[in-house]
Structure 1
Amino acid sequence: MSDAIGSIWGALKAHKPKSLLELFEDPDRVAKLSDRIEWGEAEAVAGIQFDWSKTHLDETLLSAFEQLAGAMDFAGKRAAMLGGAKINNTEGRAAEHTAQRGVGAEASVEEAMALHARMKMLVEAIHDGALGDVKHLIHVGIGGSALGPALAIDALTRDLAKVDVHVVSNIDGVALEQAFEACDPATTLVAVASKTFTTIETMTNAASALKWLGEGGVDDPFGRVVALTASPEKAVEWGVDETRVLPFNETVGGRYSLWSSIGFPVALAIGWEEFEEFLAGAQAVDMHFRDTDGRDNLALRAAFADQYYTRVRGCQTRAVFAYDERLGLFPDYLQQLEMESNGKSVTAEGDPVEGSTAPVTWGGVGTDAQHAVFQLLHQGTHLIPVDFIASIAPGDMLDPAHHRILLTNCFAQGAALMAGKASDDGARNFEGNRPSATMLCDDLDAATLGALIAFHEHRTFANAVLMGINPFDQFGVELGKQMANSIEAGGNQFDASTETLLEAAGISQG
């Protein structure tokens, strides 16, 4: 860490901001720390309000973090990422997920659009009956190849899906059997999503799905498979016809791949027009992120707060609560995005990181979570920043009282965390001064979900830049997988505990 950067961190740690209630004595505070990102035209304009006013960010902190962003060359690194430079230095790759949404190097955008056109043709052909009567899709993947599709399908197909999609990621056979029970082999396709087409969990599940199709009377099981991969030649070698292989570029990382052919099950479920809206919402955030600097860049502003609470205040976790049943999987999605990206202990140059990196991301759905974990948030000894996400428009057709009560609970929780309530009875005393941020969507449709995900991708990148780490590799995922593979191959001696567990489970090595 340079002396200049160390000095900035020193100033950040020395500053003691006022309490949240005191900060709200500024009548312009909400205007200063609450802004919208919008998309659409004329009467169709929609957007999300990002309110960070209930955090401890003040003028001193904002100015210092802007200095830090300058010292860490945030603008240069942002331009490098969006320009297709090899910013994933440990793997010698670019990180070009935004090109899938039309923002990036011209050649990469053109390639992404061509691959989207290929995917569109297959999606529309399936909808038109080219592969027979297709009512179900079993989507097999893991990690980013499953979490993103599962989130989008759960959020966007509550009313009606053009094709019933079941996302299976776990190698536990129970997960796959549940999908089998819900589907008819005669009307089911299987999507195999794997960047390398070698992931053991995915390929094992795929083989079992093929067997199920064959046992269910399908004469040509491989004829019912669609491959989503950055290694199309391996998919063809495995047995998938090249007309049903949907490639994506290796510069699109797994947890950033929902916008590529990994989004095939989403497009199949919601239709191509809606999938384009999904991309358009993300693109609106991309353009804001690209064209806006300093504290006015909302993803960077969020990262300022993240860094303050993690590195200055020592918060080890951040909670995310979606006050919308359709976003029940959003905390799970963010866990991988943030913790796999920024859960590092070395800088991009390989030096030890000075300070904490990613906090533990966790959360749930309101109002259920209020009756489970909010006791700790309000009165526990841990300081935990909270993100609230809600939609102004309801997702149901019931009495409006349902949605009104949902939203009032969401807003009241943020107010209560900030204000607290004093009491001489310690059990009833609420200290308050506990931070939260709110993302209030006009509606929860495909464009809004795309915008929410893209915002968090850029927030994750901004945090990485401020810490000087590479958010695009994930070597920590590999060691346990390698050891599991070695058990299958019979080539390892383990510690006494592991050997005993293997013996007790009746697992022989090799």
Structure 2
Amino acid sequence: MKNIIPIETNSWKKLNNHFNKIKHVRMIDLFNNDANRFKNFSITFKNKILVDFSKNRITNETIKKLLNLTIETNLSEAIELMFTGKKINQTENRSVLHTALRNRANTPVYSNGIDVMPMINTVLNNMENFSYQVINGIWKGYSGKSIKNIVNIGIGGSDLGPKMVTQALKPYKNHLNIYYISNIDGNDISSILDNNHFERTIFLISSKNFQTEETITNAMTIKKYFLKKAGNKEFMNKHFIAITSNIKQALKFGIIQKNIFQIWDWVGGRYSLWSAMGLSIILSIGFDNFNKLLHGAYDMDQHFRETKFENNIPVILALIGIWYNNFFNTETEAILPYDQYLEYLPKYIQQSNMESNGKNIDRNGNKVSWQTGPIIWGETGTNGQHSFYQLIHQGTKLIPCDFIAPINTHSHLFHHHKILLSNFFAQTHALAFGEYFIKQKNNICIKNSMKININNSQFKYFEGNKPSNTILLNKITPYSLGALIALYEHKIFTQGIILNIFSFDQWGVELGKNVSTEILNILKNKTNILKYDSSTNGLIDFYNYFNRNH
């Protein structure tokens, strides 16, 4: 994988000159000058997903220059290196093979000279057999009753990915109750301890290294409460499952070998829902639907790997993101799904993107002088409209948006969905064109004017020219959701390659953990030595004083 400084490429320099020429271009003019703009700036995937990127401040020349950037930064080569198991996660000396987890063609994929597909298929088969027993009431708890509740104990990718998918595919849910525990805050776990029927509950301890403080602390607390109620350590065999790469630690915790589902070091946490970390998904929607989720992701993998970049959805969206973040200096992107089942999608993409590309050191080991990962945020549907859309429409920040919606709904209240979609279509239109069409009807020309002084109407003026991508899915299904998630994964990967950063480590997450371990010893009064800054020392002193005297 070549380490090319993007701002030193000819493409970047030409993009900078191009930006200076078109930075004030208005989308209304782009549409007026091109009757086929929607057709020319949209791509369909398998006739199931439509991506419209016509409402952006880009021209054919912009796209051409951005595509030249992929050539100079050797994106094609990097894609093949990832899919073929080369160690592109160089800071951890690992392959990056979440794509192998959904390799429906079952073609060999090698890491360290070993074909990983047989071990993936073995774990998948074990997941299928286990989930079948639990869902169909064959697997019994220690009192002989069938399982009713599933509690997933994890954090980060071991929590948010499975939780997002489980919620998104709620219409496919079976009779099992699925709960997710992640926060170390005792308030997060108390409801499980107080209200759960342990005799009918399975606990999935989801931790790649089986040493994550939040996860293991929560698991140990639940184990303590479980043993107090069940009264026999052997009963854990019916109720505790581990999903981890650290088999030794899981065994030490007290989980038997057959209850351990393995993952591997080449599976990044935020990309792990396709692995055994997705066991809670399978227990919620069944293995067949999980398999469809994998198929959707696999088909998007093939699209990303095989499609020319000018028609490649993840690549195009990635380039547009770089265009705004580095040339318009937008800094943020909003993810706006118009489907309540997708309520966790903005958080999931936030984690995937910001944990991957939130880096300020390039692959050469030098501080970057360009923008890398954007700030990702968002909210569902009309909830966002009544919250932050005011700033997007009339504020001083330029915020590119991704609007995502299903054409068909799982709800039987079809009139609700039409109202929802009317808002969906209206918002992308209003952001792009402001009040142009409205004022035009009233014979008030504002095409090139920013000042309206009729009856204080300047306060109600919307200049438009706010960019957005629109993603329409036929319906939120396991297949379409799998494809959508993989789309964003590959968008993030593409941006990391072009921006010359390592997307698959997360050293920034580790620093706070290390410091917190030291401080925990102080809070436990193991030591009174305070070696931090005056603020942190003062805060710890106040905590200790207040804790001792109250």
Q: 1:20 aligns with which of 27, 35, 45?
A: 27
Which residue of 2 is the match for residue 496 of structure 1? 534
Whether 1:249 aligns to 2:249 is no
Q: 1:130 aligns with which of 118, 139, 142?
A: 139
Q: Secondary structure, in 3 states, of the residue corresponding to 2:265?
A: coil
Paired-residue identity, %: 34
Code of the residue aligned with 1:20 in structure 2: it is: M
Shift of 1:451: 1.0
Distance 2:502 2:7 in 1: 21
Whether 1:463 aligns to 2:501 is no
Q: Secondary structure, in 3 states, of the residue corresponding to 2:116?
A: helix
Whether 1:432 aligns to 2:470 is no
For structure 1, the 5+ residue unaligned runs are 39-45
Shift of 1:218: 5.8
Which residue of 2 is the match for residue 345 of structure 1? 360
Shift of 1:442: 0.3
For structure 2, the 5+ residue unaligned runs are 436-445, 447-451
Shift of 1:209: 1.2
Code of the residue aligned with 2:158 in structure 1: it is: S
Distance 1:328 1:448 in 2: 16
Distance 2:150 2:98 in 1: 25
Distance 1:190 1:304 in 2: 42
Shift of 1:162: 3.6
Which residue of 2 is the match for residue 94 of structure 1? 95
Shift of 1:58: 1.6
Which residue of 2 is the match for residue 41 of structure 1? none
Whether 1:105 aligns to 2:113 is no
Distance 2:75 2:506 in 1: 22
CA gap 1:3/1:454 in 2 versus in 1, 3 angstroms: closer
Which residue of 2 is the match for residue 360 of structure 1? 375
Q: 1:157 aligns with which of 166, 170, 173?
A: 170
Shift of 1:114: 2.0
Matched ranges for 1:374-393 at <5 A: 374-393=389-408
Which residue of 1 is the match for residue 72 of structure 2? 71
Code of the residue aligned with 2:305 in structure 1: it is: R
Indicate the larger mover: 378-387 or 9-18: 9-18
Distance 1:79 1:351 in 2: 25
Which residue of 1 is the match for residue 438 of structure 2? none
Matched ranges for 1:475-486 at <5 A: 475-486=507-518
Code of the residue aligned with 1:493 in structure 2: it is: K
Shift of 1:8: 1.7
Distance 2:428 2:490 in 1: 24
Distance 1:356 1:238 in 2: 43
Code of the residue aligned with 1:97 in structure 2: it is: H
Residues 146-171 of structure 1, C-alpha deviation per residue, up to 9 Å, x if partnerless?
A: 00011011111256434211011100
Shift of 1:395: 2.5
Shift of 1:181: 4.4
Shift of 1:495: 1.4
CA gap 1:222/1:74 in 2 versus in 1, 3 angstroms: same
Query: 2:14–2:65: 8 Å Cα contact kept in structure 1?
Result: yes
Q: 1:336 aligns with which of 322, 339, 351?
A: 351
Query: 2:7–2:370: 8 Å Cα contact kept in structure 1?
Result: no
Residues 251-304 of structure 1, C-alpha deviation per residue, up to 9 Å, x if partnerless?
A: 000000000000000001111111101111111100100101222111000011
Which residue of 2 is the match for residue 34 of structure 1? 42
Shift of 1:349: 2.1
Distance 1:209 1:336 in 2: 27
Q: Secondary structure, in 3 states, of the residue corresponding to 1:24?
A: helix
Q: Secondary structure, in 3 states, of the residue corresponding to 1:216?
A: helix
Q: Secondary structure, in 3 states, of the residue corresponding to 1:361?
A: strand
Query: 1:461–1:471: 8 Å Cα contact kept in structure 2?
Result: yes
Distance 2:377 2:7 in 1: 34
Indicate the larger mover: 93-102 or 103-112: 103-112
Larger radius of gyration: 2
Q: Secondary structure, in 3 states, of the residue corresponding to 2:334?
A: strand
Code of the residue aligned with 1:34 in structure 2: it is: S
Q: Secondary structure, in 3 states, of the residue corresponding to 2:209?
A: coil
Distance 2:193 2:177 in 1: 12
Query: 1:323–1:389: 8 Å Cα contact kept in structure 2?
Result: yes
Which residue of 2 is the match for residue 289 of structure 1? 304
Which residue of 1 is the match for residue 332 of structure 2? 317
Query: 1:5–1:71: 8 Å Cα contact kept in structure 2?
Result: no
Residues 366-401 of structure 1, C-alpha deviation per residue, up to 9 Å, x if partnerless?
A: 111101100000000000001101001112112x21
Query: 2:184–2:218: 8 Å Cα contact kept in structure 1?
Result: yes
Query: 1:277–1:447: 8 Å Cα contact kept in structure 2?
Result: yes
Q: Name the count of aligned residue pairs.
A: 501
CA gap 1:59/1:245 in 2 versus in 1, 3 angstroms: same
Cα RMSD (Å): 1.9
- TM-score of the superposed pair, with normalisation by structure 1: 0.95
Matched ranges for 1:4-19 at <5 A: 5-15=8-18, 16-17=21-22, 18-19=25-26
Query: 1:86–1:94: 8 Å Cα contact kept in structure 2?
Result: yes
Shift of 1:182: 4.8
Matched ranges for 1:403-422 at <5 A: 403-421=417-435
Shift of 1:4: 8.6
Which residue of 1 is the match for residue 442 of structure 2? none
Query: 1:393–1:443: 8 Å Cα contact kept in structure 2?
Result: yes
